[in-house]
Amino acid sequence: MNNQMMMLVNMMIQSNPQLRSVWNQAMQMAKGKTPEQGNEMIHNLAKQMNLNLDDVEKQANSMISQFVNNQGN
């Protein structure tokens, strides 16, 4: 992931308190886990917090699209 994309992801995490909470918990719990275990853990945390990962993905895609479009201007 390039620096611009990392900045965008970080902005999303910081701007959404629920997502930030899930992210912080997931990062702590992910230590020593395989990618598959990490993915399952993120989905379980999101479910516990009533956070819809599909909505988060849509938000991310929208922000990425806007970011890419603004880069062309």
Q: Structure tokens of 38? A: 């990490």
Higher pLDDT among residues 46 and 5, named by residue:
46
Strands, E, within 10-57: which ranges?
Answer: none
The per-residue pLDDT for 2 is 63
Digit-coded pLDDT (tens) for 7-51: 777 888 888 888 888 778 778 887 888 888 878 887 887 888 788
Q: Give mean pLDDT, residues 59-64.
A: 74
Read off the pTM: 0.47
For residue 53, what are the CA distances in angstroms to 9, 36, 71?
14, 16, 27
Q: Structure tokens of 52? A: 């819809």
Cβ neighbors of 60 (< 8 A, separation 6 or more) are 9, 12
